[in-house]
Amino acid sequence: MPKLSEIVAFCESRTRRAEVKDFPGAYNGLQVENNGEVTKIAAAVDAGQIPFEQAIAAGADFLICHHGLYWTAPIPLTGSSYKKVKTAFDGNLAVYGAHLPLDCHPEIGNNALLADALGLEKIGGCVPYEGNDVATITAGPAGGRAELAGKLQALFPDTYQAIEYGSKQPKRIAILTGSGQSAVDALKTNDIDTLITGELRQHHFNMAQELGLNLYPCGHYATEVFGVKALAAEVAAKFGLEWTFIQTPCLL
């Protein structure tokens, strides 16, 4: 039976945690310990109360999350924070968080895997942050905007949105899963007029009109399920364990 320390070491190496600096206050890595052994892996986008409960109910004792527990320090363990951590302790659930390391990873990152799911060729990166490109650049599909929109609608049937004021035949596309605000301002400087992301703000609708952009916000949650699934699958394969994805009905 693999040790918790072995699982964590694999995750640290695979996500390149030491090489990817996250936003101020965000903490990546092991966030809650268990008894030191792992028998089943679970993955969830959010380190929330219900994902914790469902992971424990599924028999998991190691949960990989994209949005972990800690974003600012210190966090008083009171109220819902106490209940959540107590649930993990009582259920012997270790919790591992990987935010930006699971966004910008070239193989198991949310951006890269979304590009793969859409059949788009990855050709570069943009939106640099502390030495790493947070967003991915792909070539446009042969069928242009119509083909791209069709694939996005099929992949995200419940959360797909389209703000189309850019080229009908985009040559370069940016992908930034989750919150895409930081990418919008960088599009024109990178000769890009099309962005696939998770969520935007109301004023980006006006920016799309004024700057001639195609913006596709397809849900923060929905665009960030890819990385945790990929990492969980790799951990499970490496150590001969089962894994499961904890789905939550989030359309935002």
% of the chain with per-residue pLDDT over 70: 100
Strands 62-67 and 94-97: parallel
- In this structure, which CATH number among 3.40.50.11610, 3.40.190.10, 3.40.50.880, 3.40.1390.30 belongs to the domain 110-223? 3.40.1390.30
Q: Do domains 4-98 and 110-223 have the same CATH topology?
A: yes
Residue ranges per structural domain of the chain = 4-98, 110-223
CATH topology assigned to domain 4-98: 3.40.1390
Contact 182, 127 (CB under 8 A): yes
Cα(178)–Cα(176) distance, rounded to whole angstroms? Answer: 7
Contact 137, 251 (CB under 8 A): no
CA distances from 160 to 42, 52, 81, 211, 218 (A): 26, 28, 32, 21, 4
Contact 168, 144 (CB under 8 A): yes
The confidence score (pLDDT) of residue 29 equals 97
Q: Which residues of the chain have pLDDT under 70?
A: none
> In the block, which residue shows the tokens 């919150």?
179
CA distances from 117 to 81, 92, 120, 150, 225 (A): 35, 34, 8, 13, 12
> In the block, which residue shows the tokens 């799911």?
117
Cα(227)–Cα(17) distance, rounded to whole angstroms? Answer: 14
**Which backbone phi and psi does 14 adopt, to 5 degrees?**
-65, -35
The confidence score (pLDDT) of residue 73 equals 76
> In the block, which residue shows the tokens 């596309």?
173
The confidence score (pLDDT) of residue 101 equals 97
Statement: the pTM of the whole predicted model exceeds 0.75: yes
The confidence score (pLDDT) of residue 50 equals 97
Q: Residue type at 180?
A: G
C-alpha closest to that of 186 among 199, 198, 172: 172
**Which backbone phi and psi does 67 adopt, to 5 degrees?**
-95, 100
Beta-carbon count within 10 A of 136 CB: 29
Helices (H), 172-224: 181-184, 203-211
Cα(66)–Cα(221) distance, rounded to whole angstroms? Answer: 10
3-state secondary structure of 128: strand
Which contiguous run of DSSP H or E holds residue 179?
strand 172-179
The confidence score (pLDDT) of residue 118 equals 98
- β partners of residue 64: 43, 96
Cα(208)–Cα(194) distance, rounded to whole angstroms? Answer: 10
